[in-house]
A and B are shown apart, each in its own frame.
Chain A
Amino acid sequence: MPDVASPQEPPTSHVSQTPHVPGEPHLMHHFDDMEQQRETATLGMWVFLVTEVLFFGGLFAAYMIYRVWYPTTFGVASRQLNIYSGAGMTVVLITSSLTMAMAVHAAAQGLRRRIMGFLGLTLFLGIVFVALKGMEYYHEYLEHHIPGHGFQIVGADPNHAQIFFSLYFIMTGLHALHMFIGFGLLLTMMYMAWRNYFSAKWHTPVEVAGLYWHFVDIIWIFLFPLLYLVDRHR
């Protein structure tokens, strides 16, 4: 017969000052051991990333459909984008994934300075990425490629081209928003590392933040060819 619960003194918080398993200050009250806590956190982030795939997925679906319907116009519109900027951004973001992986590796070794260093580098590269994107947006503004009233384009149906640019701004804008959220995560990790929160035994938040960052990178790896490389061979 399963154990029957009996009335008990309620603890004051989950992350307890008097841990319910001695020697495990980070063990939350509702978990039985650190292994369970770590696996739970990781699975949680993976499930969240699946939702993000579906979130961006709707945009990708819309994009694919219009790309099939208006191939020529999408080609012309795509060629308006700055491929060097896009390629540069791709290199920057992939490198930031590398530095993020190094940060996680450092965390697994409990090397505080190194964790902060690599996290900082990742943050810096992320900011470079977003700055390049901002410059591109400004360039599109100057070229009258912002959909809406003053939209102009040469050599393609302006209506269909506006669809391309609408999707371009929404997709890259949403991606940039996720980058900003990532910056928040990175800053939080850096703060926690500075406060000596992590050790070789427990550094799950860094792992989980790493998963998120890699995901944001992967989204860009799909966005870049879809948006920038349409019909480039012509």
Chain B
Amino acid sequence: METTEALALPKTHYLNAEYGIRSWLLTTDHKRIAILYLISITLFFAVGATFAGVIRLELLTPAGDLVSDDTYNKMFTMHGIVMIFLFLIPSIPAVFGNFFVPMMIGARDLAFPKINLLSWYVYVVGAIFTLVAITAGGVDTGWTFYTPFSTQASNSNVLTAAIGVFIAGFSSILTGLNFIVTIHRMRAPGMTWMKMPLFLWSIYATALINVLGTPVLAITLLLVAVERAFHLGIFNPAYGGDPVLFQHLFWFYSHPAVYIMILPSMGVVSELIAAFTRHSVFGYKAVAFSSLAIAVLGFLVWGHHMFVAGISVYSAMIFSVLSFLVAIPSAIKVFNWTATLYKGSVSLDAPMLYALGFIGLFTVGGLTGLFLASLGVDVQVHDTYFVIAHFHYIMVGGALMGYLGAIHYWWPKMTGRLYNEIWAKLAALTVFLGFNLTFFPQFILGYLGMPRRYHAYPPEFQALNVLSTAGATVLGIGYLMPLIYLLLSLKYGRVAGPNPWKATGLEWQTPSPPPTFNFDRTPIVTKPPYSYEQQEADLA
């Protein structure tokens, strides 16, 4: 049984091993780099959320009366660019992947620590370019940069924004490269692929997409930038160029990109469900292989963004079938997580609330994806608020909930402190309720016919928009709460000790916060992951 002596923070750990700004800006410790990312992406989340706030405020009334047309167009563009490229894509991999991949596989660092630091700097440079684009007058092409509007007609900072996203993409590529090589080459002795925690499977699948998909976005944006700067004609119909070719190239990356955003969250959910049911994840192999299946199939469905764009009926049908199939592995995961609860020992700590919230909201988001894969219905709902609701259920209800769950789960390990559990539960509930109120009405709005990217709308759509904005306010409060209690916990939180959740996994075998080099000696792994029976036997 546990002793009840007061826990103390370790004397030396990665946060106090060295002091000074140079020790942070020139660090190669994966944990410090993770913290650098944590601070940066939180900042950009705030920027992106501010744009969302303006959008929702404007949409309270049917007339476009809060901001001008051009300003509104810039708001939704920059909301998308910042949230996707500067927040969601890095989020879990760059923070929790960087922090925990080496620890979970029993390594002292990632394969390429200096490239890891480089990836953060590349991210910062890309982010600066994007900030310049934002502050120097904004971008108004939509985050999708469709041609010929972006190359010919837009009067905004397309070039700067495209360059910013281009550079930030290389940060993703380097991170993905690092994870792939690390997982292949640096697993501790005894840790076979099938003994890896499911978070690592998700990170690996995500890294594959990062490495294969992002270069195509890079070259596409490069072509847009060059065309805009030098007035070439690759996507310009007047020269015989094809605007739809841009869409194919763009979506070839940007569809797999959404799996970059959701897979890591799914990995987190696997960890959370296991830890807070103290149960092995049901169907481990199915979940692991589902991650890979999502990564592979995800590359084959990009055309479902283009069903009304002028592609042939036959290619539309092929993309439709594949889009249905890519939903299946996700469904398998949801079923397996639910089955893990069966005969588990369920404890509703804050991280678990986020995990359960994820299951509910991701299920809604995933099922509404089927509406979009259905050709006959997609014609009606494409480019309407239905699509916006769908992807926000996945990205916010799914990915962001997973991110918040990860923060709450691993905060004690990263900082050595526990936060106030009551406030954390309250925040989770606020986020869940606020989220549904914000985005569920948008499904209805979409089928009714309200198009997306609309500054002003017919009056009959107002009631639903008002509900949505009310929800957004609640959601905003739900996001502010963790900011406050997590920061407060750094000073006033109880000391956590090595394993406050009594979870399995190598990361919980180190002190909290961990020392710079994680492990004194490379651990030797003998047990499968989530072996709670073994852990119980060992502690007895």
Could you list which residues of chain A lie within 8 angstroms of chain B, going by C-beta atoms? Answer: 1-11, 14, 29-32, 36, 39-40, 43-44, 47-48, 50-52, 54-59, 61-62, 65-66, 69-70, 147-149, 157, 159-160, 162-163, 166-167, 170
Contact B233 A10 (CB under 8 A): no
Q: List residues of chain B with CB within 8 A of the CB of A29.
A: 108-109, 517
Partner of A61, one of B115, B227, B242, B249: B249
Q: Is B311 an interface residue (CB 8 A)?
A: no
Q: List residues of chain B with CB within 8 A of the CB of A52.
A: 215
Known: A40-B186, A44-B181, A55-B218. 16 other contacts (CB 8 A): A5-B515, A8-B515, A8-B517, A10-B516, A11-B517, A29-B517, A30-B110, A30-B517, A31-B186, A51-B173, A55-B215, A58-B223, A65-B245, A147-B230, A157-B240, A163-B240
What 7 A-B pairs are tightest by C-beta distance, nearest first?
A2-B523, A58-B219, A55-B215, A30-B109, A54-B215, A30-B108, A159-B239
CA distance A157 to B234 in the complex (A): 15
Report the minimal beta-carbon distance from A11 to chain B, rounded to whole angstroms: 8
Contact A10 B211 (CB under 8 A): no
Given A2-B506, A30-B107: A162 in contact with B113 (beta carbons within 8 A): no
Q: List residues of chain A with CB within 8 A of the CB of B429.
A: none
Q: 8 A-B contacts, Cβ less than 8 Å apart?
A: A2-B523, A2-B526, A7-B11, A30-B110, A30-B517, A40-B111, A40-B185, A51-B211
Q: Is B213 an interface residue (CB 8 A)?
A: yes
Q: Is B93 an interface residue (CB 8 A)?
A: no
Given A30-B107, A57-B215, A58-B249: A40 in contact with B181 (beta carbons within 8 A): yes
Contact A14 B113 (CB under 8 A): yes
| CB nearest neighbor in A for B516 | A10
Q: List residues of chain A with CB within 8 A of the CB of B520.
A: 3, 5-6, 8
Report the minimal beta-carbon distance from B99 to chain A, rounded to whole angstroms: 15
Contact A170 B223 (CB under 8 A): yes
CA distance A30 to B101 in the complex (A): 13
SS class, residues of chain B in contact with chain A = loop
Contact B216 A166 (CB under 8 A): no
Q: List residues of chain B with CB within 8 A of the CB of A48.
A: 177
Given A2-B509, A32-B522: A62 in contact with B218 (beta carbons within 8 A): no
CA distance A52 to B240 in the complex (A): 28
Report the minimal beta-carbon distance from B265 to chain A, rounded to whole angstroms: 24
Contact A50 B212 (CB under 8 A): yes
Q: List residues of chain A with CB within 8 A of the CB of B446.
A: none
Contact B525 A2 (CB under 8 A): yes
Contact A36 B186 (CB under 8 A): yes
Partner of A7, one of B28, B212, B511: B511
Q: List residues of chain A with CB within 8 A of the CB of B522.
A: 3, 32
Report the minimal beta-carbon distance from A158 to chain B, rounded to whole angstroms: 9
Q: Is B231 an interface residue (CB 8 A)?
A: yes
> Which residues of B (497-525) have their CB < 8 Å from a CB of A?
506, 509-511, 514-525
| CB nearest neighbor in A for B174 | A48
Contact B511 A10 (CB under 8 A): no
Q: Scoring B residues 179 to 219 as 1 if CB is less than 8 Å from chain A, else 0, what string do you get?
A: 01100111010000000000000000000000111111011
CA distance A209 to B107 in the complex (A): 26
Contact A47 B219 (CB under 8 A): no
Q: Is B226 an interface residue (CB 8 A)?
A: yes
Given A2-B524, A29-B108: A58 in contact with B216 (beta carbons within 8 A): yes
Partner of A62, one of B115, B213, B234: B234
Q: List residues of chain A with CB within 8 A of the CB of B137.
A: none
Q: List residues of chain A with CB within 8 A of the CB of B173.
A: 51
Q: List residues of chain A with CB within 8 A of the CB of B538.
A: 1
CA distance A9 to B173 in the complex (A): 33
Given A36-B185, A43-B185, A44-B177: A148 in contact with B216 (beta carbons within 8 A): no
Contact A56 B219 (CB under 8 A): yes
Report the minimal beta-carbon distance from B155 to chain A, rounded to whole angstroms: 20
Q: Is B220 an interface residue (CB 8 A)?
A: yes
Partner of B10, one of A4, A7, A58: A7
Contact B245 A62 (CB under 8 A): yes
CA distance A67 to B37 in the complex (A): 44
Q: Scoring B residues 130 to 146 as 1 if CB is less than 8 Å from chain A, else 0, what string do you get?
A: 00000000000000000
